[in-house]
């Protein structure tokens, strides 16, 4: 079974890509954030979840093993398919975990295709399964924000956490967050703007 692919980005078709590795082209479904700043010819490293059903199978790729782990956990919810699980992870893994841990179903409905009933079901089925390390990480992030006397929206807090996870310094990230144009409201647009401007520094 394929668990990891490292190869060259040969084709982008929506959120389906063709990754060339070892002379073989693999079709992999990815999160939109995975290919925001990528161009054909770039090298990608993806952790693979092999989703199999009676209708067929497909490869789903994630930039981090943690995203793959959370995706697998989301799929354990009865009635939650891979399309919706991926949509949830577009909110960023920390955003999803915070919502589940705090029981805030409304935050989950920001994801495409997730209604109030399904959001509540996700929380009920997964809230008790969050491990101690995950809960501690969420608490640490919240404490750091409170310590700095800065209040961020849920979206910006999740962007901060994700950018720090990518290796950017907290001070630089918090500084650039405060400069995001008010016309950018979506998590994707705000994140891309931050990354582009962090690269210019």
Do the Cβ atoms of 40 and 10 come closer than 8 Å?
A: yes
Instruction: Tokens for 153, please give them.
Output: 């929206």
pLDDT of residue 23: 94
CA distance 119 to 194: 29
Tell me the per-residue pLDDT of 111-134, one tens digit each, with 9 for 90 and over: 777 888 888 888 888 877 665 445
If DSSP codes are grouped into helix, strand and coil, which group holds residue 90? coil
Question: Residue 26 — pLDDT band, cuts 50, 70, 90?
Answer: very high
186/120: higher pLDDT = 120
pLDDT of residue 91: 67
pLDDT at 19 > cutoff 90: yes
CA distance 86 to 81: 9
Structurally, at CATH architecture level, domain 4-62 sits in Beta Barrel (2.40)
pLDDT at 135 > cutoff 80: no
Q: What is the mean pLDDT of residues 25-51?
A: 90
For residue 89, give every residue at least 6 positions away whose Cβ sits within 8 Å of its Cβ, in sequence order, or none. Answer: 31, 62, 67, 70, 71, 74, 96
pTM, two decimals, is 0.63
Same fold flag, 4-62 and 66-129: no
pLDDT at 94 > cutoff 70: no
Q: What is the mean pLDDT of residues 95-122?
A: 80
Structurally, at CATH architecture level, domain 66-129 sits in Orthogonal Bundle (1.10)
Domain ranges of the chain: 4-62, 66-129, 148-199
* C-alpha closest to that of 129 among 70, 81, 48: 70
């Amino acid at each position: 079974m394929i668990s990891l692919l490292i190869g060259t980005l040969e084709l982008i078709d929506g959120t389906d890509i063709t990754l060339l590795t070892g002379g073989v082209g693999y079709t992999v479904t990815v999160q939109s954030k995975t290919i925001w700043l990528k161009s054909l010819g770039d090298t990608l490293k993806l952790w693979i979840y092999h989703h199999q059903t009676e209708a067929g199978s497909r490869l789903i790729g994630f930039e981090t093993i943690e995203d793959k782990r959370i995706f697998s956990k989301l799929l354990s919810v009865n009635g939650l398919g891979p399309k919706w699980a991926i949509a949830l992870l577009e909110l960023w893994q920390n955003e999803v975990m915070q919502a589940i841990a705090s029981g805030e179903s409304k935050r989950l409905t920001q994801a495409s295709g997730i209604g109030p009933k399904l959001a509540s079901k996700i929380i009920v089925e997964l809230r008790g399964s969050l491990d101690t390390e995950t809960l501690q990480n969420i608490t640490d992030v919240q404490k750091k924000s409170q310590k700095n006397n800065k209040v961020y929206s849920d979206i910006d807090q999740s962007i901060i956490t994700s950018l720090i996870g990518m290796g950017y310094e907290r001070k630089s990230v918090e500084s650039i967050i405060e400069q995001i144009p008010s016309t950018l409201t979506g998590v994707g647009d705000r994140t891309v703007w931050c990354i582009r401007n962090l690269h210019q520094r």
